[in-house]
Amino acid sequence: MEDITIRFLDNFSKDEVDSPVLIEGLPGIGHVGKLVAEHIIHELGAIKIAQIHSVYFPPQVIIGEDSVIRLANNEIFFYKSDTHQVLFLVGDFQSTSNEGHYLLADQYLKIAEELGVRRIYTLGGFGVGHLVEEPRVLGAVNRIELKEEAAEAGATFDNGEPIGGIIGAAGLLPGLSASRNIEGICLMGETSGYLVDPKSATSLLKVLSNLIGLGIDATKLVERGVEMERMVQKLIEGERGVQDEELRYIG
Amino acid sequence: MEDITIRFLDNFSKDEVDSPVLIEGLPGIGHVGKLVAEHIIHELGAIKIAQIHSVYFPPQVIIGEDSVIRLANNEIFFYKSDTHQVLFLVGDFQSTSNEGHYLLADQYLKIAEELGVRRIYTLGGFGVGHLVEEPRVLGAVNRIELKEEAAEAGATFDNGEPIGGIIGAAGLLPGLSASRNIEGICLMGETSGYLVDPKSATSLLKVLSNLIGLGIDATKLVERGVEMERMVQKLIEGERGVQDEELRYIG
Amino acid sequence: MEDITIRFLDNFSKDEVDSPVLIEGLPGIGHVGKLVAEHIIHELGAIKIAQIHSVYFPPQVIIGEDSVIRLANNEIFFYKSDTHQVLFLVGDFQSTSNEGHYLLADQYLKIAEELGVRRIYTLGGFGVGHLVEEPRVLGAVNRIELKEEAAEAGATFDNGEPIGGIIGAAGLLPGLSASRNIEGICLMGETSGYLVDPKSATSLLKVLSNLIGLGIDATKLVERGVEMERMVQKLIEGERGVQDEELRYIG
Amino acid sequence: MEDITIRFLDNFSKDEVDSPVLIEGLPGIGHVGKLVAEHIIHELGAIKIAQIHSVYFPPQVIIGEDSVIRLANNEIFFYKSDTHQVLFLVGDFQSTSNEGHYLLADQYLKIAEELGVRRIYTLGGFGVGHLVEEPRVLGAVNRIELKEEAAEAGATFDNGEPIGGIIGAAGLLPGLSASRNIEGICLMGETSGYLVDPKSATSLLKVLSNLIGLGIDATKLVERGVEMERMVQKLIEGERGVQDEELRYIG
């Protein structure tokens, strides 16, 4: 078994792709990035082109509404129009180990290179610990030339905030892609950090839309946020069950 | 030393096996799966055909009643009649690390493929945190076509329950076997989660008996549950000793 | 860098050794095993023949009274007379990871095989949580035939005690050596588990002396126990310092 | 992706280096070592010659004041005059795992060997838990012959202090370099352990200056300590954010 397995679906040929951008929205603070990325996938009708499994994900399967088991995975979606080509990296989990974060990010970038990705947008939340009325969207870039474009699109650049850096895929993808000549822009919506935050996601979506030059209807974002919060709460309950189980692994 | 070692016993030849089913009953919530699998092994007089050792198990040996040391292991048993062939995967522990869960499950499936397994039943408990008078048996499958058969045998399919997914071998075996063309059905008996639960095991045994088409006498199940609870309590006490020891590893 | 490095000293040739026994006394509960093994080494004047370093030990160096740094290590000593050949495995630490315990034990046994070891004695403490006036010495063996000899030497065999099994090298060495045709006897002195316990060590030394057929003077055992307790307390204080340091690794 | 990547910058050729000493000042207790090493780098105008990335560092990027992302890394600087050649090993983090500490130290020493390093000075703090008016500088060496020189330079050798040994690079570098015929001297400034400690750093700088025979102006040390404390506090706050994020990685 490979530590990380990437399987492209049969419906997809790499020849279809030409200099796309990649939008990453894996789980993170306030699920802001996940919510935005999945919203755009639905609005644009992007199609799934690859599945990623890994021993660095939690050793756990997910059960669909139809009671069919599937492995925890990350997925790549693709949207193509006459004017735009966008890949999306979304999924269930990030790595459970420190090393796994690096190794997964490295594999994601191998795919990005193979598919000729020229720029990566990573989406995340920036937890401030309290409710925010008008959430800003903080930006960070892997080349200083990118700041102006992101600022014009509405991102805020604020003296090296967030001060603690960025962990996980949202930081490592632009961090590791600099040496591969892929542009990287990280956008982080301010959020309390406690709940799935559609307000923060709406701010983030606006800046991202400006950057990628695609108008995305935000109407269903709140609704999707409510649904995602419901799922997250369920998974947290499930996680509690998992911990109980681990206590009984003895014997 | 291999990370995972599988040793087939001399009494066994792979030629004996023809399209068996595999029943997994490793330790887990309420020890429901372990209790049922070990009960059937005893009732049918299945014989041990393989031993599995791994660095992913706790670094610990077990001492038999006769004071003879044996390594922590998992074991495969085999039962064969004119009409039925059943393999059993049971043992002392699951993995101590996340990655190990995946790597062990992968090895178990390599064995399953080698022995021509066509279907895997994984058995577990579904912890609900309180006593259950009439425990249901929740089902999950790795192909939607399997639901009808399992439901007819008495399994309940309830809107994607358990919501938190299934961790460990009970989930990963059907999850990873889908792409290997092995059918997978996971059966989980509702249980409080606090004690070895023979009542839950009795419900589970009934559904499983229906599915595999073998009548298994349930008389001794309660008795075996009491004995297993006694062992689990001992092991939990022992585990406390282990933790003490670890505190003193310094120096 | 190898995960485990074994370096034989120049003063030693493998030809000198003929069918020795191996006594393991690494750190553990009450430091009973460590105390007994190091006591015998001193009493017999055994000489150091090998050093073992490993990435599985804590990432830490030890500072001698002379302020000279040395790596954390385990060591092998050798004693040879006309009638007896004894190897000793002692040292600073056991593994910090579960997998490391298995991999280290496997390497120790490779050395044992190379040196023609026919029997391994592993020494440990059996923590009972309270002071014991007349500590028993519990035995466990890797072949049932060894029980009689150990019982005659004074070991107690008590219905599979210790119920939680044996963790670390004291259990894994006899556990893993069974398939290599090396006899294994584990001796565990009852101890409170809170302090280095010379009383338990004295009981253990007596049984071990009977088994190996070497009279070892126990006079200095108490004195060595007091010294070892002083060292352990120092190391525990040092470990606290380590934890402080880890809290500050940020930045 | 390599577990550890070392990249020498284009401005540097190994031919420029001739028997340098290496000064290590990675993060640790009171950031004493980091503060001193970075101060000397600035005072001497040493230039960066290599970057080190590793999966053993936290999976996290750092955001500069200009909002440009960079990977967590360690760095090597080089200073050369007619009379002196000094390499410096400094950076953001030490390893997050035990094994990683060993593997990183081993790689650092491979570089040291390649560059012909004849002696390594490792700098650290020695936490005493309270404010120290006149902080001593404790020394430890990897060869007893080095004690006299270090003592003459002002280091204190005090009966095997620090009793708990030395963890991380400050200990492993001299520990592992002994067998490579590289001299190793560890200098540890007494410090409370709670804050970046310029007073301790000043004492340490004095002893180190004597040893390397370079007068380093200490005027800006306090100012740099204040700045570093500000950064550390920011990073600690950021780390709190990280922990929040990890709690929400589910789903």
Confidence of residue B153 (pLDDT cuts 50, 70, 90): very high
Average pLDDT, chain C: 91
CB spacing of A64 vs B139 below 8 angstroms: no
CB spacing of C69 vs D186 below 8 angstroms: yes
pLDDT score of C240: 53
Average pLDDT, chain D: 91
CB spacing of C235 vs D166 below 8 angstroms: no
Query: What integer is the mean pLDDT of C183-194?
Result: 93
Q: Is the pLDDT score of A248 beyond 50?
A: no
| Ranges B97-101, C164-168, C246-250, D6-10: which has the least confidence | C246-250
pLDDT score of D251: 32
Taking only the tens place, the pLDDT of each residue in D224-233 is 888 888 877 7
pTM for the model stands at 0.93
Q: Is the pLDDT score of C232 beyond 70?
A: yes
* A4-247: CATH number: 3.40.50.10900
pLDDT score of C16: 93
Chain B interface mutation, best of A242, A245, A246, A247, highest count of B Cβ atoms under 10 Å: A245
Distance between CA atoms of residues D187 and D136, nearest Å: 10
Query: What integer is the mean pLDDT of C49-58?
Result: 97
C-alpha separations of C223 from B78, B208, B251, C219, D159 in Å: 57, 63, 18, 8, 21
Do residues A178 and A184 touch, judged by C-beta distance below 8 A?
yes
CB spacing of C159 vs B65 below 8 angstroms: yes
pLDDT score of A244: 44
Give the 3-state secondary structure of chain C: CCCEEEEECCCCCHHHCCCCEEEECCCCHHHHHHHHHHHHHHHHCCEEEEEEEECCCCCEEEECCCCEEEECCEEEEEEECCCCEEEEEEECCCCCCHHHHHHHHHHHHHHHHHCCCCEEEEEEEEECCCCCCCCCEEEEECCCCHHHHHHHCCCECCCCCCCCCEECHHHHHHHHHHHHCCEEEEEEEEECCCCCCHHHHHHHHHHHHHHHCCCCCCCCHHHHHHHHHHHHHHHHHHHHHHHHHHHCCCC
How many CB atoms sit inside 10 A of residue D236's CB? 15
pLDDT score of D30: 85
Contacts D241 to A, Cβ<8 Å:
29, 127, 162, 164, 193
pLDDT score of C228: 86
In degrees to the nearest 10, what's the CA dihedral of B247, B248, C1, C7?
-170
Domain boundaries, given as residue ranges, for chain A = 4-247
* B4-246: CATH number: 3.40.50.10900
Q: Is the pLDDT score of A211 beyond 50?
A: yes
Query: What integer is the mean pLDDT of C118-147?
Result: 94
Do residues D7 and D73 touch, judged by C-beta distance below 8 A?
no
List the single residue in D with minimal CA-CA distance to A234: D251
- Comparing CB atoms, the residue among C28, C95, C139 nearest residue B67 is C139
pLDDT score of C250: 33
Q: Is the pLDDT score of C238 beyond 80?
A: no
**Residues in C lying within 8 Å of D, measured between beta carbons:** 1, 3, 55-56, 58-72, 96-97, 234-235, 237-242, 244-245, 248-251
User: Where is pLDDT greater, at D234 or B204?
Assistant: B204
Query: What integer is the mean pLDDT of D46-61?
Result: 97
CB spacing of B1 vs C106 below 8 angstroms: yes
Confidence of residue C214 (pLDDT cuts 50, 70, 90): very high
| Ranges A194-198, B50-54, D187-191: which has the least confidence | A194-198
Distance between CA atoms of residues D172 and D183, nearest Å: 13
Q: Is the pLDDT score of A34 beyond 90?
A: yes
User: Where is pLDDT greater, at B21 or D251?
Assistant: B21
Confidence of residue D239 (pLDDT cuts 50, 70, 90): low
User: Where is pLDDT greater, at D234 or B123?
Assistant: B123
Chains in contact with B, where contact requires at least 3 CB pairs less than 8 Å apart: A, C
Confidence of residue D184 (pLDDT cuts 50, 70, 90): very high
Average pLDDT, chain B: 91
C-alpha separations of C34 from A184, B241, C51, C131 in Å: 56, 18, 16, 19
- Comparing CB atoms, the residue among D29, D175, D239 nearest residue C250 is D239
Phi and psi based region of residue D179 (left: phi greater than 0; alpha: psi -120 to 50; beta: remaining): alpha
Query: What integer is the mean pLDDT of D227-249?
Result: 61
Taking only the tens place, the pLDDT of each residue in B39-50 is 999 999 999 999
Share of chain B above pLDDT 90, in %: 76
